[in-house]
Amino acid sequence: MQRTEEELLGIFQGLLLKCLLVFGDNAWAEKVVELCQGDGEKVRKVLDAAFIDPRFIACAQALESVEREILSNQDLRQKHIESLLALRDTIDKQAKQRARVREETRYMLNLVPYPGRSASDGYSSQTWLAIKVNEYLHSGSYYCWFAGSLNSMTNGDDSNPIWLYLLIDRAVSQGGINNSKIKDIRANLMSAVDAELTAQGRTSEISAALAAIAKAPLDLFTPQIWRIKRGALGARCAKGLYYPDEFLVADLKPGEFTVIVP
Amino acid sequence: MEYDALKATQAYLILWKLIDRYFPESRWLELTDIPSEVLSSRIDTLANDQLSWFPEPEKLKDDIAKVKSFQGDLLAEDTIVRLSSLRTYLRDCALEYASGLSAEGDEPFWQR
């Protein structure tokens, strides 16, 4: 199919515009739009200017070569139409590749180094019933074991907050009223109530409190996960004897922890 | 003397806790530090009691003797297995006797 000179110039301008866009220079793109209104000489000026940018040289040289031939030899127009179309395909591919690289680069730029976990935090798993017994026995504070990590690798399973959480939560969710861990929790809470109320001289309360814990429904054993402001505890935080990452605070205050999994 | 579910529960809680002390993994479930002397003292009180408030005094006496026999022992592996079994038994006894306690007319403390 024979193309008119005007069509060829239009294709050429389009290619040049694309080429400039591929290299991401909006100022050049705008200039091309302004200059290439059917005026081949202006287009040449743009091409000449493009040589200043080394990234642009190969593409611009190809365009210049095609343009020169088209303008000088009418018989070659049809041939160069094919060349121009092939060049346009090449530039399209380059544009897509650059877009992909830009996208990948965008993500890479977001991959800032991992800031690390805060050494001033601690984590504990607490059942709802233990929280209530704590509040009943020690008004305004909590007796609380915790680890420096939610998934403490250096502690045993029974001193790993997330392991305790998973174990107890599954027992509660699966109706495990006779689950050994649930029984251990119940017995420990009863033992604490008996010892503390006896020590505090509140012996008249013991029977009812023990009965309440003994008959507490399973959903009261639902665990929470607390994040503890370990750094704020100072000397009140004692290191455990058995594992390197376990700590005990006997009087944790409400403002010193956040419930992160209710 | 009449059966006293509270005393029975307390007795088995103390016995259980003394054995539970041999298993450090349990400490994360504790809500207070019960001094060993307090537990030992209460065990001694129990051991000197006639246990007339308990339906089967001989059974309780046996359990007290079993617990006392472990106190201060260095534990061999087979002892730990026996101890673990005793611990589970004592815990279940405490929970069973506690189920006979009455909280009549008293709102559970978590609803107050």
User: In a structure prediction context, what are the per-residue pLDDT tens digits for chain A, which is 262 residues long?
Assistant: 455 555 655 666 666 665 555 555 555 555 555 555 556 665 566 556 555 544 555 555 656 665 665 566 666 556 556 666 666 676 667 667 777 776 776 666 666 778 788 888 999 999 999 999 999 999 889 999 999 999 999 999 999 999 999 999 999 999 999 999 999 999 999 999 999 999 999 999 999 999 999 999 999 999 999 999 999 999 999 999 899 999 999 999 999 999 999 9
Residues of A in contact with B108 (CB under 8 A): 212, 216
Residues of B in contact with A134 (CB under 8 A): 31
What letters, b where the CB count within 10 A reaches 16 and e where it falls short, cover A172-196? beeebeebebbbbbbbbbbbbbbbb
Q: Which residue has the higher pLDDT, B54 or A81?
A: B54
pLDDT higher than 90, residue B1: no
Q: Does A17 contact B at CB distance below 8 Å?
A: no
pLDDT at residue number A54: 47
**Cβ-nearest to B32 among A128, A137, A240:** A137
Residues in chain B whose Cβ is within 8 Å of chain A: 6, 9-10, 13-14, 16-17, 20, 24-34, 38, 88, 91-92, 94-95, 98-99, 101-103, 106, 108-110
Residues A240 and A259: their CA atoms lie apart, in Å, by 23
User: Where is average pLDDT lowest: A115-119, B56-60, B92-96?
Assistant: A115-119
- pTM for this prediction: 0.70
pLDDT at B82: 87
Average pLDDT over residues B59-63: 96
Query: A247 vs A32, A104, A234, CA distance in Å?
Result: 69, 44, 12
Pick from A145, A199, A211: CB nearest B27: A145
Beta-bridged to residue A257, according to DSSP, are A228
User: Does residue A164 contact residue A223 with C-beta atoms inside 8 Å?
Assistant: yes
Interface test with B, best of A194, A200, A242 (most B CBs within 10 A): A194
Q: Does the beta carbon of A250 lie under 8 angstroms from any beta carbon of chain B?
A: yes
Query: How close does chain A come to B36, measured CA to CA in Å?
Result: 11
Residue A167, C-beta contacts closer than 8 angstroms, at least 6 positions apart? A181
**Probe site for chain A from B9, B32, B91 (most A CB atoms < 10 A):** B32
Contact B98 A214 (CB under 8 A): yes
Taking alpha carbons only, the member of A149, A215, A221, A153 closest to residue A181 is A221
Mutate to test the interface with B, among A135, A181, A188 (most CBs of B within 10 A): A188
Task: Choose among A192, A213, A241: nearest Cβ to B32.
Answer: A192
Closest chain B residue by Cα to residue A204: B6
Amino acid at A72: S
Whether the complex's predicted ipTM is more than 0.90 is answered with yes
- Asked if A211 has any chain B CB less than 8 Å from its own CB, the reply is yes
Judge contact between B48 and B68, C-beta under 8 A.
no
- Using CA atoms, how far residue B82 sits from B61, B85, B89, in Å, is 18, 5, 11
Nearest chain A residue to B5 by CA distance is A207
CB A211 within 8 A of CB A239: no
Residues 183 through 202 of chain A touching chain B, CB cutoff 8 Å: 183-192, 194-196, 199
pLDDT computed for residue A56 by the predictor = 52
Backbone dihedral angles phi then psi of residue A261, each to the nearest 5 degrees: -130, 100
CB of B87 closer than 8 Å to CB of B19:
yes
